[in-house]
Amino acid sequence: MAQKILPHLWFDKEAKEAAEFYTSLFPRSRVTNVTTLHDTPSGDCDVVSFELDEYKLMSISAGPLFKFNPSISFFLNFDPSRDSRARENLDAAWAKLSSGGTPLMALDKYPFSERYGWIQDRYGLSWQLILSDPAGEPRPFIAPSLMFTGAGAGHAEEAIELYTSVFKDARRGNTARYPAGMEPDREGTLMFADFMLENQWFAAMDSAREHNFVFNEAISLLVRCDSQAEIDSVWSKLSAVPESEQCGWLKDRFGVSWQVAPAELHDMLAEGSPEQVASVTQAFLPMKKLDLAALQKAYATG
C-alpha cells in the first residue's frame, strides 16, 4: 500500500545535503527526486524526495524561517527479532548521528529498554533510537513521534482521538500513562502512546516539564489525497488556525502543521517540463486550500 502521510522537513539551504546524509545511514535508502521551484517567496527552493529503509519523506530548502526542535522526532526501532545485529546497528547509527549532533538523552539502559538514546543531529533533527522488545507487537523501523509541551501538555490523548477520527485504517496501539507522583506531569496523561493512521504508525507523549519549544512548521505531515473531496474533508477536520492556511499548509488546534495536497501534485513537479513546473508553482502559491482542478489546468497549459 502506498504511503499516504509523509513527514516534510523544512531546511534553510541543506535539504539535498541532509537527504544524502540520511540515506547513507540505512539500507534500502535513496534520494528519489530533486526538483527546483523558481520564483517563490523564498527564491529558488529545492524540493527533495527520499526514502529511509523504504519509508518516504520529503524536504525543502526554503530559507531560515523555521528551525527543528524535539517536539517532533523520529523513532528508529531496532528489533532483535528481525535483525540479529540490531544492537550493533543501533550503536552504528547513533555514532553517525552523533557527529556534529547533541545528545538529549544518553545512549544507555533504561527501565523501558535495554538500549535507548535521544539525539539531535547536525541539522537539528531529533531521533530516538531504541532496542525494541521482540515480544511486543511488531513496529516499523521509522515512526514520527509528537511531544505535547507547554500549553499543549496533557492534550496528547485528545490529539490522537482527533487524528484517528480523521483518517482511515486508524487505531490505538500501546499506551503508558504517568502514575501519581511524577509532577509536573499529571497523573493519567500520556507518558507514551502509539497509534496508526492510514496503516502508518505514529507516537505521542505529554511532557509538562519546562521546555523551550512547541510544534512549528519545520516539520509538517504531508497528506497525499486522491481527490478534491478528500482534500476538502481532511482540511475541514484539521484546520484550526485560519492565518496559517497557505499553499496547502494548515495548523490543527494543537499547533501541529499539516500539508493537504493532491497526490498527483508530486508527479506534476517531479515529471513536468520546466514550463509546467513553473506554471503549477505560480498557481499554488496564492492558494490556501489547494484546488486540484486549477492545478491540473495550470499543468496542462504550462
Three-state SS at 246: strand
Cα–Cα distance for residue pair 214/153, rounded to 1 Å: 10
Confidence tier at 136 by pLDDT (50, 70, 90): confident
Across the range 207-222, mean pLDDT stands at 96
Topology at the third CATH level for domain 5-64+217-301: 2,3-Dihydroxybiphenyl 1,2-Dioxygenase; domain 1 (3.10.180)
Summarize pLDDT for 277-296 with one digit per residue, the tens.
Answer: 999 999 999 999 999 999 99
Mean pLDDT across the chain:
95
For domain 72-206, the CATH class is alpha beta
Identify the bridge partners of residue 7 per DSSP, sorted by sequence position.
221
Identify the bridge partners of residue 20 per DSSP, sorted by sequence position.
none
Looking at residue 214, what is its pLDDT? 96
Confidence tier at 137 by pLDDT (50, 70, 90): confident
Looking at residue 299, what is its pLDDT? 94
**Residue 9, C-alpha cell as written in the block:** 522537513
Confidence tier at 141 by pLDDT (50, 70, 90): very high
Summarize pLDDT for 145-179 with one digit per residue, the tens.
Answer: 999 999 999 999 999 999 999 999 999 999 999 99
Summarize pLDDT for 10-42 with one digit per residue, the tens.
Answer: 999 999 999 999 999 999 999 999 999 888 888
Cα–Cα distance for residue pair 52/195, rounded to 1 Å: 21
Confidence tier at 130 by pLDDT (50, 70, 90): very high
Q: pLDDT at residue 121 above 70?
A: yes
Three-state SS at 52: strand
Verify cis geometry, omega within 30 degrees of 0, for the bond prior to 184. Answer: yes
pTM of the model: 0.95
Looking at residue 39, what is its pLDDT? 84
Across the range 67-75, mean pLDDT stands at 98
Looking at residue 140, what is its pLDDT? 94
Across the range 100-105, mean pLDDT stands at 96
Summarize pLDDT for 266-276 with one digit per residue, the tens.
Answer: 889 888 898 99
Summarize pLDDT for 222-240 with one digit per residue, the tens.
Answer: 999 999 999 999 999 999 9
Confidence tier at 57 by pLDDT (50, 70, 90): very high
Across the range 51-74, mean pLDDT stands at 96
Cα torsion 127, 95, 112, 153 to 10°: value is: -30
3-state secondary structure 199-216: CEEEEEEECCCCCCCCCC
Confidence tier at 212 by pLDDT (50, 70, 90): very high
Cα–Cα distance for residue pair 97/85, rounded to 1 Å: 18
Domain ranges of the chain: 5-64+217-301, 72-206
Nearest to 203 by CA among 93, 112, 111: 112
Looking at residue 42, what is its pLDDT? 82
Looking at residue 1, what is its pLDDT? 67
Looking at residue 182, what is its pLDDT? 93
